[in-house]
Amino acid sequence: MRAHLALLSAAVVLYLASASARSSGQQGGFGGGGFGGGGAIRQTDLFTTTNVLTPGEADPWPVSAVAGETLIIGVRSSAFDPTVSVVGPDGKTVGENDDVKPGVQDSLLLVHLARAGSYKVTVKSLKSRAGGQYTLTIRRFVATPTEVGARVSRRFEKGRVAWHRLKVEKGRTLAVTVSGADLALSLYKPTGDLIDDPVPFKQTPTRHRALLVADATGDHYIRVAGDEDSDAGYALVTSLARETALAVGQEAQPRPLEEAGLDIVRFAGRKGQLVSLSLSGPAGLEIIPTHGPNAESTSAPWDDAALTALPDDPKSAGTQVLLLRREGDFRVLISHETGAAARYVLRIADAARQWPAAGPAVGEVHLGESHYWRLDAEPGKILRLEAASTQFDVEVELYDPSGEKIGANDDGGQGRNARLTVLAGTGGAFLVRVHAHGDGGSGAYTLTRAADVVRPIAVGGSANGELGVGGSEIYSFAARAGQTLLVVVRSVECALDATVYGPDGLRVEAGSRSAPSSDAVFPIVCPLDGSYTLWVEARDAGGQYTLRLLDVP
């Protein structure tokens, strides 16, 4: 009876495994090992199946290949460490792989089969006694050998996929352009790795561009897929990027850009450096700054996190201002959005102005232009910046050392002048941007930093002040731990916000007035002994106000 039940259980397991493989694979039977042989892998662009590997066994998957065929084989499993190999008609191993990369136990193998015949793809566990469920994927195709720089026009049948094989040397960058309707473009390394290219080229419905950075010399692959309902063709153009070096501040010379070409201009940058890129030439030129490439990274060869773009002239497409967040080698990619040949001039310059040792900062902005001033500050420092001009409506913005905007003001000062007050949460080099509100004015301006921006107020005392739109005043007072105070802010002209910060810099309490002629009244219980700061800020309009700080017994 027990033997009969054991046989019945084995039959059920065999049936379920077979059904699972058939339902998930769609293009072949279940694999070998203890289940008696693998299903044939059909001639198709992508074959996928899920199967169960019997511990201690190997799953063979037969492939009937044509001459010149290429296979990209991937095996994924969370149950065991898979290995994959390909054995040829003569019994010799054509290729094998254990891990895709260090730390990733899945297998990935690319093999090029020079001869036609019967091959065998074998899946097994690195540790012979392990087993379990795995997923097998195989791309099989015959790639057209293509020379770099060649132009290829081709038509494929409905639903067809075309592959091209190109040899690229290590360290070179290949630009790939495919033109045609309803196309998808993919690039693969010699290892079979899909290249995930985040470079933000402008794409159109009929034109796709991508970059391939070779981290090893060998055959790289281009896959062009048409829409299932499309029987049209495509045009493929490849070119090696032309690389040059240009120092920040170096005199730039006119350069020709070849048809369908890509220029990469290298420059060395410092962490915290602010640079401006200015590209002049015909319409359609495209400029992409980046850090890298990092040829060791398959998924992200271009490191955009090393750059922060800051605002500049919104109508100047060829100008960019960048805060460099890392030390090292940076790249500027230059191409034409239609692939046309052109002549251009690229200038790279320091964009930050150094704050003068004494006196205010002065300058003159042209229409749409911005000036950036570098300002050093310690953590917890209160910064008050005032910008004044009689010729345009001046606006000021403040960026922290990481490039994040932490404050902005237009009319916080008198008239159309700007006044901005910010608490520096971190220390380092801050950037102050001065420009015309709406970028529609120009002229001379003066930028000053107030030395002492805190007004003292005693508990039980009062103060009067006047604020512009978005302006603020800061008061300081001494209090004891456990002391209860009442903050009263009143104005008949504007709505105000009031916030109290403790000696440790943390917010204690805040209150606001929703409309003029109403008071902002809120109590606070002081958590520590020491000096407190009270911020009073105008919101939608400016005007006069009265502040009272009362001791509550």
Judge: domain 144-240, CATH 2.60.120.380.
Answer: yes
Q: Encoding tokens for residue 115?
A: 């001869």
Q: Are strands 342-350 and 144-145 parallel, antiparallel or unpaired?
A: unpaired
- DSSP assigned state of 104: B
**pLDDT of res. 318:** 81
> Angle 149-153-159 (CA atoms, 0-180°, nearest 5)?
125
**Of 269-278, 423-432, 454-463, minimum mean pLDDT range:** 423-432
Most confidently predicted of 273-282, 295-304, 512-521: 273-282
Domain boundaries, the chain: 2-142, 144-240, 242-350, 353-449, 454-551
Q: Are strands 462-467 and 454-456 parallel, antiparallel or unpaired?
A: unpaired
pLDDT, tens digit (0-9, with 9 covering 90-100), for 341-366: 999 999 999 999 999 988 899 999 99
Q: What top-level class would CATH report for the domain 454-551? A: mainly beta
**pLDDT of res. 374:** 96
pLDDT, tens digit (0-9, with 9 covering 90-100), for 378-432: 887 888 899 999 999 999 999 999 999 999 988 877 778 998 988 888 889 999 9
CATH domain 2-142 topology: Jelly Rolls (2.60.120)
Distance CA 292, CA 299 (A): 13
pLDDT, mean over the chain: 85
CATH code for the part of the protein at 242-350:
2.60.120.380
**pLDDT of res. 404:** 93
Q: Encoding tokens for residue 30?
A: 């279940």
**pLDDT of res. 20:** 39
**Of 59-73, 283-297, 378-392, 419-433, minimum mean pLDDT range:** 283-297
CATH code for the part of the protein at 353-449:
2.60.120.380
Beta strands, E only, 54-148: 58-65, 69-76, 82-87, 93-97, 107-113, 117-125, 132-142, 144-145
As a whole number of Å, the CA-based R_g of the chain is 34
pLDDT: is 423 or 84 the higher one? 84
**pLDDT of res. 305:** 75
- DSSP assigned state of 101: B
Distance CA 515, CA 512 (A): 9
